[in-house]
Structure 1
Amino acid sequence: MTSPLPPFDPSEASKFFFKHGHTGWLGLKYSAHADNWVELELPWREDLLGEADRAVLASGPIISLMDMASGMSIWQTKGTFTPIATLDLRVDYQRPARECSAVWGRVECYRITRSAAFVRGIAHDGDRADPVAHVAGVFMTIDKDPRQGKVPDASASGSEAGTGDE
């Protein structure tokens, strides 16, 4: 029998997540969190520029920042780390980030169903009232390995089918 996972703590989890892989290479940093949101920082770096003649962070690293903040907000809301997959992450840019400025991504998880989690948030460069971008996303939540248990029947009603409707 396996023991339950400890409660998810974004500040502690970031110590592992941001040492390795893509998020480690980007240099993401933990900033803050509450019950259903997480804020991360993408520090400004010259090698992350979108255009050689402007000292502005490129959109790709900002999207990665928002994707990671989204996932962490879901785990924070659920209270535990479970596998998730990005189904849709819409990023609406409002303006370029300021030159030589870090960007923070603050994302809240506002609804979780049996098979999906919904998030929204902003990317900003120091002033939350003047966002660089707005994001909205849907993530698939995977609470158990489907090979080990019942796979939801799409013809079933409500939450048994994974729609979240009670």
Structure 2
Amino acid sequence: MSDSQPNVQRFIDALPHACDLGLQAEPGCGGGVARMSMPYDPKIVGDPRSGVIHGGAVSALMDTCSGAAVLSHPDYVGATATLDLRIDYMRPATPGQTIHARAECYHVTRSVAFVRVTAHDDLSDPPVASGHGAFTMTHGAKS
């Protein structure tokens, strides 16, 4: 797998909400796989009593990571946008811990890319959240 971490970071840097969340590309990106992290920040806590990060911030991480996976796919030829993203939240993220996401673009058609994504903190099982989605794929991609 080629490491497309710099390309993924450029994608993140072009998205104001991703910058505000502190998203960072991680090593191991390329070939339809993207990895990124979101550091713990009190600004994105959803419940001040527990210190748990808001689910909306987790979903933004997972959506951005999924889009980056499409962009890193060998059949990618243009722009992408989220058509559908279903996220199942398995447990609250542990307060104070960075959340890491890994997305894989596992199938593409002429116009749609299909992605699986998970988010973890320092505990690997169960994940904080798991999801799958469909993203636009510019016409011209291999089927």
TM-score (norm 2): 0.86
Structure 2 residue 29 is the aligned partner of structure 1 residue 29: no
- Root-mean-square deviation (Å): 2.4
Identify which of structures 1 and 2 has the higher relative contact order when contacts are C-alpha pairs closer than 8 Å and 6+ apart.
2
Q: Which structure 2 residues correspond to residues 17-166 of structure 1 after superposition, within 5 A? A: 17-18=12-13, 20-32=15-27, 33-78=29-74, 80=76, 82-143=78-139
Contact 2:93 2:128 survives alignment (8 Å)? yes
**Cα deviation, residue 19, structure 1:** 6.1
Cα offsets for 1:109-150 (capped at 9, x unmatched): 000000000000210002333300111000111247xxxxxx
Structure showing greater radius of gyration is 1
Q: Give structure 2 stretches of 5+ with no counterpart.
A: none
Aligned-residue sequence identity (percent) comes to 31
Structure 1 window deviating more from structure 2 (43-52 vs 15-24): it is: 15-24
Q: Tell me, in whole angstroms, the C-alpha distance in 2 between the residues paired with 1:104 and 1:64.
A: 12
Runs (4 or more) in structure 1 with deviation over 6 Å come to none
Judged with a 3 Å threshold, the aligned counterparts in structure 2 of structure 1 residues 128 and 25 are, in CA distance, closer, same or farther, namely same
| TM-score under structure 1 length normalisation | 0.75
For residue 31 of structure 1, report the CA deviation from its aligned partner.
Answer: 1.1
Contact 1:107 1:121 in 2 (8 A): yes
Between the aligned partners of 1:58 and 1:29, the Cα distance in structure 2 is 18
C-alpha separation in 2, matches of 1:16 and 1:35: 16
Alignment correspondent of 1:161: none
Alpha-carbon distance in structure 2 between the residues aligned to 1:15 and 1:84:
15
Task: Give ranges in structure 1 of 5+ residues lacking alignment.
Answer: 1-6, 145-163
Other structure's SS at 2:127 match: coil
Does the residue aligned with 2:86 lie in a helix, a strand or coil? strand
2:25 is aligned with what amino acid?
A: Y
SS in 2 for 1:84: coil
